[in-house]
Amino acid sequence: MSKLQAKLVELVETTTGAEGAALIDIGTGMTLAQAGTPGFDLDVAAQGFATAVRYQLRTISDLGLNDLAEGMLISQGSHHHIFGVRTTDNREGLLVYLAVRRDGATLSAARRRVAMMTARLPA
């Protein structure tokens, strides 16, 4: 098991309500490491959510905002999808993705754990 995968396993196992996690390349949408069993395909989720994040980053750039994106949240019926963004230019970089159950997670704690893991990634 790679160090990245071990960190994702730790993230899932120590975050209440977490079901799956992935490290994703923003530019390609490729899953670099993953952990957990969220009941859906993490590779498909990685592709789709990376596209959504790319569009959001492009919007930030188009608006002329100088701040870097730090994180994002997408909520749907049964899950919150939490993203930590690690980029130096709001274009390319890495995403830490965590899927948590809406009925069993503390959202603020999950977001904090994703932010902590993201901050340790190389920029």
Mean residue pLDDT of the chain comes to: 92
Whether residue 123 has pLDDT greater than 70: no
Number of residues written out for the chain:
123
The per-residue pLDDT for range 31-62, each reduced to its tens digit, is: 999 999 999 999 999 999 999 999 999 999 89
Kindly state the helix (H) or strand (E) to which residue 7 belongs, with its residue range.
Answer: helix 3-14
Q: What's this model's pTM, rounded to 2 decimal places? A: 0.92
Taking the C-alpha atoms of residue 34 and residue 2, their distance in angstroms, rounded to an integer, is 10
Judge contact between 32 and 45, C-beta under 8 A: no
Give residue 122's pLDDT: 78
Judge contact between 81 and 73, C-beta under 8 A: yes
Whether residue 86 has pLDDT greater than 70: yes
Q: What is the DSSP string of 33-70?
A: EEEE--SS-HHHHHHHHHHHHHHHHHHHHHTT--SPP-
Provide the token pair at 116. Answer: 């902590």
Domain carrying residue 76: 3-119
Whether residue 92 has pLDDT greater than 90: no
Provide the token pair at 15. Answer: 């975050």
Q: In what order do the strands lie in the sheet with 71-75?
A: 31-36, 18-25, 93-101, 79-87, 71-75
Count structural domains, the chain.
1
Whether residue 75 has pLDDT greater than 90: yes
Give me the CATH number covering residue 83.
3.30.450.30
